[in-house]
A = this chain, B = another copy of it.
Amino acid sequence: MISVSKKILPFLKPSILQSRYLSTNGEYFLIRKDEMENFMERCMLAVGTQKLHAKSLANCLIEADYRGHFSHGLNRLDMYVRDIKEGTTFSDREPIVVKESEATALVDGNNLLGPVVGNFCMHLAIEKAKKVGIGMVVANRSNHYGIAGHYSMQALKERLIGLSFTNTSPLIFPTRANKRTFGTNPITIAAPGKDNDSFVLDMATSTVAFGKVELSDRKDQVIPNSWGADKNGNPTTDPKKVLNGGGLLPLGGPEESSGYKGYGLNLMVEILCGILSGSLYGPHIRTWQTSSGEANLGQCFMAINPGNFADNFEDRLQDLMDYCRNITPVDKNKPVLVAGDPERIHMKTCDEKDGIQYHINQVKYAEDLAKNLNIEPPKARLFSQ
């Protein structure tokens, strides 16, 4: 029996509600992974993206949602749609190898969608790693490429270690500085264990993402002073001060808790991306969520073949991960995890529910996007908490 509150109804067409999944006190939505991925692809096709490029983007965004990193999935679809629609990002060409050796390559991303550039580069890095043990490919003229882990994890299928880095628009205050200068410049490494287990680190070099500050603000909570700074660069516990002209702090937070290490890592990423590739870098990158000209981001992709080093890599990594997971936790309700476990838990929940759980605002967002592009929205199933 369908029961939808008035608050929810305006956002949904009856056609997309599947009665067999509905409860009587529904307030959240499930959308099947393939259903949402197809929707993302349709959106991109509707604005003239070529088929394979649209598929690459959809595949990258759905992986973010599936892994529980909603900020980098459906949430950003309109940005990519807008960039293609306005011609800020291209889709009528392919990335170009500018310089190459057995182990390295410099790629001109040709201002294509980030995942198109990223897949091209990661594929090339993997090919090189298979031949000479390591491949390092650096791209300029790229665009936002979604979750960094999407690229490092491509190496796992080949039983290789994958790494990736990207620069991004300025949001972080360097230690001691009164100006937002660097992006959240992520670091990711993925390494294969046994039986499809793996280590997947995918982290911004800021202490937290902006989204976490926004969430605390909505809940009227104070935040740890390691998360962000006010508009003058002073670390603060007031989320409003971070959101109103302030910015994020590098991992570690203020200087006394070693924020300069996070700042150093942030610059390491910038060196491997913008400085090495000849793209824009640091303060020269356009403001977040603007589209004045090419983004011209720099990105770095690496693959390493454990076969070129000591035998039995996967056995050792599995032993290490299992060891960590079996350490007695401080709080028995919070088990010790390794990087990638929170995402694994989220994906398992999605699989059990046969769908990704979206907030009502996200479903409305997808509905609005579908309406604007005159395409079919994704089929959502309403559930109660």
A residues touching B (Cβ–Cβ < 8 Å)?
99, 101-104, 106, 132-134, 136, 138, 140, 161, 174-179, 181, 187, 189, 191, 199, 201, 203, 207-208, 224, 226-227, 232-234, 251-253, 256-258, 260-265, 267-268, 270-271, 274-278, 281-283, 304-306, 308-313, 316-317, 320, 323-324, 327-331, 334-339
Of B181, B224, B330, which is within 8 A of A327 by CB? B181
Given known A327-B178, A336-B174, A336-B176, contact A103–B106 (CB-CB < 8 A): no
- A187 near B317 (CB under 8 angstroms)? no
For A163, the closest partner residue in chain B by CB is: B268
For A98, the closest partner residue in chain B by CB is: B310
Q: Across the interface, which residues of B come within 8 angstroms of A338, CB to CB? A: 267
- A175 near B336 (CB under 8 angstroms)? yes
CB distance from A110 to the nearest CB of B (A): 15
- B283 near A323 (CB under 8 angstroms)? yes
Q: Across the interface, which residues of B come within 8 angstroms of A282, CB to CB? A: 320, 323
Q: Complex: how many Å from CA A138 to CA B307? A: 12
- A133 near B133 (CB under 8 angstroms)? no
Q: How many copies does the complex hold?
A: 2
Given known A133-B136, A309-B106, contact A275–B191 (CB-CB < 8 A): yes
Counting chain B CB atoms within 10 Å of each CB, the highest count among A257, A309, A335 belongs to: A309
Q: Across the interface, which residues of B come within 8 angstroms of A275, CB to CB? A: 191, 313, 316-317, 320
- A276 near B327 (CB under 8 angstroms)? no
CB distance from A254 to the nearest CB of B (A): 8
Of B181, B277, B327, which is within 8 A of A324 by CB? B181
Q: Across the interface, which residues of B come within 8 angstroms of A252, CB to CB? A: 207, 226, 251-253, 262
CB distance from A385 to the nearest CB of B (A): 25
Q: Across the interface, which residues of B come within 8 angstroms of A258, CB to CB? A: 207-208, 226, 251
- B304 near A136 (CB under 8 angstroms)? yes
Of B176, B316, B329, B330, which is within 8 A of A330 by CB? B176
- B174 near A324 (CB under 8 angstroms)? yes
Other A-B pairs, 18, CB within 8 Å; known A106-B310, A227-B257, A276-B309: A101-B308, A106-B308, A132-B132, A134-B136, A174-B324, A176-B334, A177-B327, A181-B327, A191-B271, A207-B257, A252-B253, A263-B339, A267-B324, A271-B317, A275-B317, A278-B310, A278-B312, A278-B316
CB distance from A308 to the nearest CB of B (A): 5
Q: Across the interface, which residues of B come within 8 angstroms of A328, CB to CB? A: 177-179
Of B203, B281, B305, B334, which is within 8 A of A320 by CB? B281
Counting chain B CB atoms within 10 Å of each CB, the highest count among A102, A138, A265 belongs to: A265
A/B interface sample: 28 pairs, CB < 8 A: A103-B133, A104-B308, A106-B308, A106-B309, A140-B310, A174-B327, A176-B336, A177-B328, A178-B327, A178-B329, A179-B327, A181-B323, A191-B271, A199-B267, A201-B265, A201-B268, A203-B265, A251-B252, A251-B261, A260-B339, A265-B265, A267-B338, A274-B320, A276-B306, A276-B309, A276-B310, A276-B313, A281-B316
